[in-house]
Structure 1
Amino acid sequence: MEKASSFLLSFVLQLLYFLVACIATNISTDQSALLAFKARVTLNSSHPLSQNWSSQASVCDWFGVTCGSRHHRVTALNVSDMDIHGSIPPQLGNLSCLVSVDVSRNYLHGDLPQDLSRLRGLKVMNLGYNNFSGEIPTWLGFFSDLQMLNLDNNKFTGIPPASISNLSKLETLSVIRNRLQGSIPKEIGNLQSLKELTLLENNLTGSIPFSIFNISKVQLTHNQLSGSLPVDICRRCLQKIKSISIISNQLSGHIPAGLSNCTELYELRLSYNKFNGTIPPEIVNLERLEFLSLGGNNLQGKIPAKIGNLRNLQQLQLENNQIVGSIPRTISNLSLLWILNFNTNNLTGVIPREIGNLHKLESLYLQFNNFGGVIPSSISNLSNLKGLYLHVNKLCGPIPNSLGDLRQLEYLNLANNNLTGNSQPKYFCLIIQASLASSMEVLDY
């Protein structure tokens, strides 16, 4: 009860701060702030801001500026993708009624001035695709109304500040391709409104806090995160996670069977880590799964026999593991599949003719395995196929003439097999353009 009262008091004080600050200043303050921004950046004479941002016109008529209908104060600034070079002046913190700011896709640089901490009414802050540097400021935690924070493609350093956990209304936090280091603050998992956490391509280390799996979409690809995934990753309140992407890290241990309890999951990407053990058969219970990527690990055992239960799959990628056995014939149920990648494993048996039922398939990667038998003629039913890779196997028999019916085919590699036909080259790699697919010719290199 005391905690709830404290939170309510803090919320009321923040609201009063915003209202008082907004009323205490006027449109002239806004004009001065924006002119200070214009003076700080480099613009050519034909630039929209050079011509349009003038004291001769009302601020509310300036390009990229939106004013509120009630108080006629600047509430939004959007100058994204406008080839602006320079830095942000402290005066921008005087836009006391500002709700949304978007300066993304420019060439702005330097630290974020402390004065921006006065923008307590911000709901949207997009600084992505610039050259901002320094640590992510702790004062971002003052923005109690903030719903979206985008810092993508900058040069921010340090550890994500734990003060971000104060942003109780934050729905999207994205810090892609920066220079963040250290561990992910466990406090981020306390953000009850957070739906998307994207920290791709940084230098984050340590284990992943269990609490962040309470977020609907978790994207942590290309970091140095280690440890294992919790066995009870999808227990009770965490069952609504929809997307997990943690490619190219240092995670180890087994892929937890408990993932099968994440019934809302549509994306599971754990490729290029150090997972071992088998693919948990329970994974076939994730009926909403559209993307399954487990390649580049140390997985063993067989492909789950009931893989065909995943009828919504669009991508199935298990490459570069040590998977054995044959391809389950239930694969034919994956009618929405457009990428099937089993390359570089220890798969045996024949290529099932049921693969010909995957009519949306665009890329089929089965190279570097131990498949035997003939190339099934049913592959010619894959009218959308652009890439067919069957090289380095033990395939025998003739090359089906029907492969010439694949009018979309651009890449075909059948090298290092035991195939026969009019031409019997020891090694060949045929790359054809779609316009030549109907008159396919085997080239002897």
Structure 2
Amino acid sequence: MSPVGPTTLVMLLLSLVSLAASCTEQETSSLLQFISELSRDGGLSISWGNASDCCEWEGIACSSDGTTVTDVSLSSRSLQGPISPSLGNLTGLLRLNLSNNMLSGGLPLELLSSKSILVLDVSFNQLDGNMDDLASLAPRQPLQVLNISSNLFTGQFTSTTWKAMVNLVTLNASNNSFTGQIPTHFCNISPSFAVLEVSYNQLSSTVPKGLGNCSALRVLKAGHNNLRGSLPDELFSATSLEHLSFPNNYLNGVLDGSPIMNLRNLATLDLGGNNLAGSIPDSIGQLKELEELRLFNNFSGEISKVNFSTLHNLEILDLLDNSFTGTVPESIYSCRNLIALRLCGNNLLHGQLSPRIRNLKSLTFLSIGYNNFTNITNTLQILASCKNLTVLLIGSNFINETMPDDDSIDDISNNSLTGEIPTAIMLASEKTAAHFDPRIFDLPVYNNPSRQYRIHTVPKMLDLSSNKLTGVIPSDIGQVTSLLSLNISFNNLTGPIPPSICNLANLLVLDLSNNNITGEVPAALENLHFLSKFNVSNNDLEGPIPTGGQFGTFQNSSFGGNPKLCGSVLGRPCSSTEVGPVSIVDRKPFGSKVIFAIAFGVFFGVGVLYDQMGASANVEAYAHGSGGGLASPRPVMARRGYGLGRGLRGSCDNTRRLSGGKLGRR
């Protein structure tokens, strides 16, 4: 026999070490048992079959010595079926992530009673049950983070049910169907308890005073429930709070300024969509760490009395739908990091916009509609220098003022503006329109029976309806090829429909009704294949109505009030001498002065409401995919600051929910 060389010996030893340092037979068996019970395993059985050592399997991680499974990370794998209790046999498992799948059934008690699991995330699935079995758990479970959000769980948070969770730091149980009151016993059971998220449930009763005993609590989110009563002073004894949000409940009473001063670390305060009243306490200005302040309620009084000048970290200020009086506080313009400012729907705010708004270099969202502001020319000249502004909503101000001839900004419907449509109407360039800060908006959401989805898309809309505009529709409108909705109804426009509109290949909504438009309906409009709402009623159009493309889907109401129009849809045959419209598409190069711009709309997968255009049913079909071009929905975890709040008045910001005020509910 030949002697064994040193190189061969080393290779042999490494091979033996490799064989020794592998996961155990029990761990392998437990993992295989898990996928065998699934009705759909996302291809894991094939993937795992490529290696004998489970530490080398996709989604599996082991300890540094390669002997113990420590992590199972199988999120977003399209897994279907139940969660096997066999995963509880992984005695060294520290972290289990099965989020964003389609798992169903209950949450195995074996996972919650594990002696090793520190982090358990089963969010965005279809799991159900009331979790009463937790009462039988042995005390002192090691679990620190439990995320069961966006499932179908029911029941209440009782101290007996959750008494074993003595090490719990974070609980996210949002978007389920839990009832009862906000749990407070976690603060007594677990001294390190820091994060409690129970939004989008069916919690009722009042806000418990016991929350004030949560000395380590940093995040408390309980929005979109049925909470009532006033905020107890004891709540503000939880001085570690950084995020406090109770939006969209039934809270009432006043906001006491003295206790709130205790929350010196507060970065987010969201009390919008409740019935709180009175004035905003002056002490708000002492919360110098504030980044987001949302107080759309029934507040009143002189808003200028609130000193915002010390809030240098403030990024979002939302005071929608209150009853403030006076002018916009000059102190707001000291908030140099402000990204979004919404004062819409206060009705009693007046005066002119201050040139100091130019100091807000980061401002991208400004909504001041439904107030009594004046001097639109000055306003637009000031805002023209706000280079980062991508959304401007100023509707229902500037009553009886004349439209300026220079660059203007969209969403200026219902202002009684007069004059011709300017040749350049600019809200934001298409480059910046795609970069909205997601924290600013109520992102679109729709639901299957178990989860929230958010669609990341910003449709473009130009709405000049219900003014007193005269003249013709500029042919340059055809250059804004990304436009999805054009509404210039209820004006005094004359002249023909410019053939250049046929260049707007992505157009979903076209409303030219209730003007004095003449000429024929261009046959080339048949090429707008995504057009789902079309209205030219009550004009002075003539000739045959096109019959191809989407025109076969429009009802006679789209053409009524035009006695010279003919076609089968109106039951008015065209004579043989009448010649159909000629398709002429304006190919004129993009003019240097022309950028029609781009307002915004927020799609819901269950529908979108362009309030003043009545287009919800048709755009709903587009949002479900029939219009083409929308990004596929994808589930996302709830993150801090999403949304300006509930119940956006459609006439105010051109968006509102279609889910009965319960965003994310089933």
How far is 1:284 from its partner? 3.2
Partner of 1:361: 389
Structure 1 residue 59: deviation in Å?
8.2
Question: When the two structures are superposed, what TM-score results if normalisation uses the length of structure 2?
Answer: 0.54
2:662 aligned partner: none
Task: Quote the offset at 1:373 in angstroms.
Answer: 4.9
Asked if 2 retains the 8 angstrom alpha-carbon contact of 1:354 and 1:378, the reply is no
Separation (CA, whole Å) in 2 of partners of 1:309 and 1:404: 27
1:122 aligns with 2:122: no
Matched, 1:427 2:491: yes
Contact 1:42 1:86 in 2 (8 A): no
Seen in structure 2, the aligned counterparts of structure 1 residues 195 and 376 have a Cα distance that, compared at 3 Å, is farther
* Structure-to-structure mapping, 1:83-122, within 5 angstroms: 83-112=102-131, 113-114=133-134, 115-116=136-137, 118=139, 120-122=141-143
CA contact (8 A) 1:33 1:92 kept: no
Paired residue type of 2:38:
L
SS in 2 for 1:402: coil
CA distance in 2, matches of 1:121, 1:347: 58
Structure 1 position 340, deviation (Å): 0.8
Q: Does 1:401 align with 2:423?
A: yes
Deviation at residue 264 of structure 1 after TM alignment: 0.8
Distance apart, 1:407 and its partner CA: 4.9
Q: Are the equivalent residues in 2 in contact too, given 1:396–1:417 (CA < 8 A)?
A: yes
Aligned to 2:174, what secondary structure does the other structure show? coil
Deviation of 1:140 after TM superposition, in Å, equals 2.9
The structure richer in helix per residue is 1
User: TM-score, normalised on structure 1?
Assistant: 0.78
Query: In the alignment, which residue of structure 2 is the partner of 1:197?
Result: 220
Q: Give the 3 Å change call, closer, same or farther, for CA 111–333 of structure 1 in structure 2.
A: same
Worse-matched range after superposition: 394-403 or 171-180:
394-403
Of the three residues 39, 44, 56, the one matched with 1:44 is: 39
Say which SS state the counterpart of residue 321 (structure 1) adopts: coil
Stretch moving more, 91-100 or 62-71:
62-71
Which structure: greater strand fraction?
A: 1
**Gap runs ≥5 in structure 2:** 1-22, 69-91, 434-459, 474-487, 508-589, 598-612, 614-666
Report the Cα distance in structure 1 between the residues aligned to 2:490 and 2:126, rounded to whole angstroms: 54
- Is the counterpart of residue 75 in structure 1 residue 94 in structure 2? yes
Comparing 316-325 and 207-216, the one that deviates more: 207-216
The DSSP-based 3-state class of the residue aligned with 1:109 is strand
Distance in 2, matches of 1:212 and 1:34, equals: 45
Q: 5 Å matches for 1:8-407?
A: 38=34, 43-44=38-39, 46=41, 72=68, 73-112=92-131, 113-114=133-134, 115-116=136-137, 118=139, 120-138=141-159, 139-166=161-188, 167-213=190-236, 214=239, 215-235=241-261, 237-271=262-296, 273-279=297-303, 280-322=305-347, 323-350=349-376, 351-352=378-379, 353-371=381-399, 373-375=401-403, 379=407, 388-403=410-425, 407=429
Q: Is the 8 A contact 1:199 1:220 kept in 2?
A: yes
Structure 2 residue identity aligned to 1:86: G
Task: Report how far residue 394 of structure 1 moved.
Answer: 4.9
* 2:463 partner letter: N
Tell me which amino acid in the other structure corresponds to 2:228: T
Deviation of 1:371 after TM superposition, in Å, equals 4.9
Aligned counterparts of 2:492 and 2:167: Cα–Cα separation in 1: 62
Describe the SS at the equivalent of 1:260: helix
Q: CA deviation at 1:411?
A: 2.9
Alpha-carbon contact 2:264-2:288 (below 8 Å) kept: yes
**1: CA distance between counterparts of 2:400 and 2:332?**
22
Letter in 1 for 2:39: N
What is the distance in 2 between the residues matched to 1:68 and 1:297? 56
Aligned length: 406
1:165–1:377 Cα change, 3 Å: farther
2:577 matched residue in structure 1: none
Cα distance in 2 between the residues matched to 1:99 and 1:74: 8
Residues 310 and 107 of structure 1: CA distance in aligned 2, closer, same or farther (over 3 Å): same
Answer yes or no: is the 8 Å Cα contact 1:311–1:334 preserved in 2.
Answer: yes
Return closer, same or farther for 1:94/1:341 CA change in 2, 3 Å cut-off. Answer: closer
Which amino acid counterpart does residue 199 of structure 1 have in structure 2?
A: A
**CA distance in 1 between partners of 2:40 and 2:506 (Å):** 48
User: Deviations 1:45-76 (Å, cap 9, x if unpaired)?
Assistant: 5456778999xx88877876666669952222
**SS in structure 2 opposite 1:259?**
helix
Distance 1:341 1:228 in 2: 25
* Structure showing greater relative contact order (alpha-carbon pairs closer than 8 Å, 6 or more residues apart): 2
Query: Is the 1:368–1:391 contact (alpha carbons within 8 Å) kept by the matching residues of 2?
Result: yes
CA contact (8 A) 1:373 1:397 kept: no
- Distance, in Å, in 2 between the alignment partners of 1:425 and 1:111 is 53
* CA positional deviation for 1:389: 1.5
Distance 1:62 1:212 in 2: 48
Counterpart secondary structure, 1:182? coil
Judge which range, 281-290 or 116-125, deviates more. Answer: 116-125
CA distance in 2, matches of 1:164, 1:109: 22
Shift of 1:347: 2.0
Amino acid at match of 2:212: G
Cα distance in 1 between the residues matched to 2:465 and 2:258: 45
* Cα contact 1:295–1:320 (8 A) shared by 2: yes
SS of the residue 2:255 aligns to:
coil
Task: Describe the SS at the equivalent of 1:84.
Answer: strand
* CA-atom RMSD in angstroms: 3.9
Partner Cα distance (2:115, 2:300) in 1: 54
* Range 319-328 or range 242-251, more displaced: 319-328
Deviation string 1:217-247 (CA, Å, 9 cap, x unpaired) is 1121111111111122542x42221110111
CA distance in structure 2 between the aligned counterparts of 1:171 and 1:428, rounded to whole angstroms: 60
1:96–1:119: 8 Å Cα contact kept in structure 2? no
Q: 1:119 to 1:334 in 2, by over 3 A?
A: same
CA-CA distance at 1:84 after TM superposition: 1.3
Structure 2 letter corresponding to 1:130: N
1:294 Cα deviation (Å)?
Answer: 0.5
| Distance in 1 of aligned mates of 2:505 and 2:287 | 41
Task: Tell which deviates more after alignment, 174-183 or 423-432.
Answer: 423-432
Output the CA distance in 2 between the equivalents of 1:137 and 1:69.
39
